[in-house]
Amino acid sequence: MISEFTRYTRHGQIMKNEIKTIWLYIFTATFLISSAGLQAHATQGVIEAKKGYIIFILDASGSMWGQVQGRTKIGIAKNVLTDLIKNIPDGLNVALVVYGQRRKGDCSDVEELVALAPINKDKFIKKIEAIRPKGKTPITLSIKTTVEKLGAVEEEATIILVSDGRETCEGDPCALVKELKESGAKFVMNVIGFDVAGEDRKQLQCIAEMGAGKYYAARDASAFMLAGKKVVEEPKFAAGYLKVAALKDSIPFTAYVNVFRHGEESKIAGSYAYEPNPASFKLLPGVYDVKVLDDDIPQKPFVVIEAIDIKPGKTVKKTAAFAGEGYLKVEAIEDGEPVSAYFLIYSHDEESVIANGYSYEPRPIKLLPGVYDVRVHNKSGKKVKQIKGITVRSGRSQTVDVRF
């Protein structure tokens, strides 16, 4: 079974019988891949990408407006969480639960700001930035709500509770965590106690102990950041790296790179490969596919590279090679004078429109090499001329003169 291949969309570049043959091959290959499933993966010695789970529970009670070294605790917490999120591997499933930010004195104020899903870092950071502490500290309810939402998650999740104090509502969070673990709930509870001492600290330490996790004492911003990094850089979240370059006629160019878990359709990350810098991704160990898109050409050609094996601490480099484009320019003359004429470009003997424009535009249309038809409307739109069989070659510009 082929582990890596490329596909191009080619309008007019190959004959129709070749198109049918290629699409038949793609359909057959897709069917075989989907039906073979995990058995095919085992045959190749390939494992699926790991789907790590992290849930942050953040204290947004009124006490988080207190200050540490001249800065508010909530300000420090938001800065630390933002930095952690920026450096988390792409594709990691991350959620954010906050308590105490909506209403004063409300022990039911627990809110899931970001649901557990492959992380969208920009969205996640915006949610963090919008947090405004206000209420009480319902730790027990927040833990209960979080574990319930794990539902059918099969892999053990990591929960990170950040709090500057103990429970201020009814409930015993330590007893709850013990009960949940004994019932078979799959999670590890780590706790970061931020500027905490005495009985408050004892309760938070107990939560971590009953949750088979660790307690981290953070008295200032640097200690908070260090604790956060230790939790999210555990061995099961160790990252590998993927760099993807795009070449056109062996020359680097700008293309957009989408990353998927192998065999899945939902994108987990995306970035541009900019000349001369490749797109770079920090990923959990596992197997991935990438789709590299040249969105500067109307046909939107793309290259797919499959079954890229990412290992902890290792960097994998891949290159997507594209064919060079050609150029087509339309010039219109009516009654002996140049005019602005509207035109449509089609693949040869097909009805689907590839591109359109006006003849006065100074820049020609970029197209994949191939054969095209052009339909041109005169200035009034009442007259139409069609020119068939225009050949566009890589690296060359073709001009179509139309006279009305």
- As a whole number, the mean pLDDT across the chain is 83
174, containing H or E segment: helix 173-182
Q: Which residues contact 154 (CB under 8 A, 6 or more apart)?
A: 186
Q: What is the mean pLDDT of residues 46-65?
A: 78
Token pair in block for residue 60: 């947004």
Last residue of a domain, one of 304, 322, 340: 322
| Same domain membership, residue 254 and residue 124 | no
Question: How large a percentage of the chain has pLDDT more than 70?
Answer: 87
Reply yes or no on whether the pLDDT at 25 is more than 50.
Answer: no
pLDDT tens track for 235-250: 677 789 999 999 988 8
Reply yes or no on whether the pLDDT at 252 is more than 60.
Answer: yes
Q: Alpha-carbon torsion 82, 83, 89, 92, what sign?
A: negative
Domain CATH for 330: 2.60.40.1120
What pLDDT is recorded for position 254? 92
| Same domain membership, residue 246 and residue 229 | no
What pLDDT is recorded for position 304? 95
In a domain, 351, yes or no: yes
In a domain, 78, yes or no: yes
Reply yes or no on whether the pLDDT at 4 is more than 70.
Answer: no
| Same domain membership, residue 261 and residue 209 | no
Angstrom distances, CA of residue 149 to CA of 142, 187, 299: 11, 12, 43
| 266/138 Cα distance (integer angstroms) | 35
| Same domain membership, residue 284 and residue 305 | yes
| 330/404 Cα distance (integer angstroms) | 13
| Same domain membership, residue 136 and residue 184 | yes
In a domain, 58, yes or no: yes
3 state SS of 154: coil
Last residue of a domain, one of 293, 322, 351: 322
What pLDDT is recorded for position 228? 87
Phi, psi of 127 (to 5 degrees): -65, -40
| 280/159 Cα distance (integer angstroms) | 28
In a domain, 173, yes or no: yes
Better pLDDT: 6 or 211: 211
DSSP per residue over 301-348, as a string? -EEEEEEEEE-TT-EEEEEEEEPPPEEEEEEEEETTEEE--EEEEEET
Reply yes or no on whether the pLDDT at 68 is more than 80.
Answer: yes
Residue 79's domain comprises 53-236
3 state SS of 238: coil
Residue with tokens 């160990």: 285
Last residue of a domain, one of 292, 322, 352: 322
In a domain, 35, yes or no: no
pLDDT tens track for 97-131: 999 988 888 999 999 999 998 889 999 999 999 99
Minimal CA–CA distance to 193: which of 211, 178, 214?
214
Domain CATH for 205: 3.40.50.410
pTM exceeds cut of 0.85: no
Best-predicted range by mean pLDDT (125-134, 227-236, 382-391): 125-134
Q: How many domains does the chain have?
A: 3
Token pair in block for residue 290: 């990438």
| Same domain membership, residue 308 and residue 246 | yes
| Same domain membership, residue 227 and residue 242 | no
Reply yes or no on whether the pLDDT at 177 is more than 80.
Answer: yes
